[in-house]
Amino acid sequence: MTTEQVYRLSGGALLTGALLAAISSIASGALLPDPSDPAVASSANIALNTLSAVGSLLALFGLPAMYLRHMGSGGAPWLVGVLLIGVTAVLFGIFMNLMGALVFPVLAEEAPQLLQLGPPAGFFVLFIVGGLANFLGALLMGIPMLSKRLYSHWCGIAMLVEAAFALLGFAVNGPNSSGVLAQIFNIVSPLPLFAVLVWAGYELASGAAHSAPVLTRQRYGESAP
């Protein structure tokens, strides 16, 4: 398999995963915004959480290619930012959605009183770690996107908006997302990140990511390798 084929496959995984995660996140947030609702045991909720976990896993597979495309020009902030977004995907995208698909439905049926008590104290630690990873990761990816033009200008702005949303999440959301404002915020806050990942995945899958450097050299009269 050639390097270009690996990039295309990785881009396809990133594009597909981000789309699946975005669609399932919006649908689950709109249809079942309260995780303490007994309806978490419904087949629709289990399917949406499973779909979101699968999407996050696919996007995680595509992140290394997104990093490697600008490994030289992005520098250390770019590397750390991508790694932290990967941590965010693992904690919020995979772990929490698997909990929603495998654990919470069982609690809703066997011990609904525990579900009504809200998340355990350990979830607050996960919320802090995941929130900080999301904030710092989006910030460290967004700054090089803008200053070094790694991607389209709007991608850098979207990542900075994502960083702001992640920071606001500490005040608005918290580990318990039962409030109306928190439920709306849960739907809106990851959308800038999903949009950037979809765009990056499209560029990798379509081959646009590989042709751009060649076009730049030819523009200045240099021979392409």
The DSSP symbol for 189 reads: T
55 domain-assigned: yes
Q: What would the mean pLDDT of 115-121 be, rounded to a whole number?
A: 71
Number of domains in the chain: 1
Alpha carbons within 13 A on the beta-carbon side of 38: 5
Residues with Cβ within 8 Å of residue 215, at least 6 apart in sequence:
none
Q: Tell me the pLDDT tens digit for each residue of 161-217.
A: 999 999 887 777 655 555 677 778 888 899 999 999 999 999 999 987 554 443 333
174 domain-assigned: yes
Q: What pLDDT score was predicted for residue 176?
A: 54
Q: Tell me the pLDDT tens digit for each residue of 29-76.
A: 777 766 666 667 788 889 999 999 999 999 999 999 999 989 988 999
Q: Tell me the pLDDT tens digit for each residue of 72-108.
A: 889 999 999 999 999 999 999 999 999 989 988 888 8
Q: What pLDDT score was predicted for residue 181?
A: 74
Q: Using CA of residue 189, residue 194, residue 196, residue 199, what is the dihedral sign?
A: negative
Q: What pLDDT score was predicted for residue 72?
A: 87
Q: What would the mean pLDDT of 127-141 be, rounded to a whole number?
A: 94
Contact 67, 88 (CB under 8 A): no
Its pTM stands at: 0.84
Q: What pLDDT score was predicted for residue 132?
A: 94
Nearest to 83 by CA among 63, 57, 53: 63
Range of the domain at 178: 3-219
126 domain-assigned: yes
Q: What pLDDT score was predicted for residue 172?
A: 72
